[in-house]
Structure 1
Amino acid sequence: MKESSKIVKVKKNNEGDITDVMLQNGTIYPIKEAIMMAKENKIEGVNVGKAKNGREFLRSDPNGYESDNLDNLPTFN
């Protein structure tokens, strides 16, 4: 069984939406794949939310710290 990994960096589009994530091991995944991985508990520290329009999105598990929220992580190109 493969261990879960944390998201350490994110890539955003011009609107500020996260399009890709980078895990601790340097592997990059598109956001849709990362959402599927989070559902399978392959990414730690995140869960899948659902917007009012039905679109799924990744969000950090609540812990009282804003510094590790996905929007506040370092970005990559």
Structure 2
Amino acid sequence: MSDQSKIIKVKKDTSGDITDVMLENGNVFSINEAIMMAKDNKIEGVNVSVSKSGREYLRSNPNGTESDNLDSLPSF
């Protein structure tokens, strides 16, 4: 059994930036907590990237499917 969980929903601020994520077990984490969890390999299907400004953010692993991109997930 895997210790990894999948992000199934996201919460965005008024600018459209993801602020929180919901995992398939129903637990909700801030984006900063989710970034730390992704670094610890606890979230499936994402990786941590760094913007030009140096800010870390979550990205879906590339797979050619847009429907599972974080921005395409349903809101909660």
Q: Is the partner of 1:59 in helix, strand or coil?
A: strand
Question: Which string of whole-angstrom CA distances, capped at 9 and with x for unpartnered residues, describes residues 18-52 of structure 1?
Answer: 00000000000000000000000000000000000
Residue 10 of structure 1: aligned partner: 10
TM-score by length of 1: 0.96
Supply the distance in 1 between the matched residues of 2:36 and 2:42 (Cα, whole angstroms).
9
Letter in 2 for 1:11: K
- The count of residues paired between Structure 1 and Structure 2 equals 76
Residue 27 of structure 2: aligned partner: 27
TM-score by length of 2: 0.97
Letter in 2 for 1:35: I
Q: CA RMSD in A?
A: 1.3
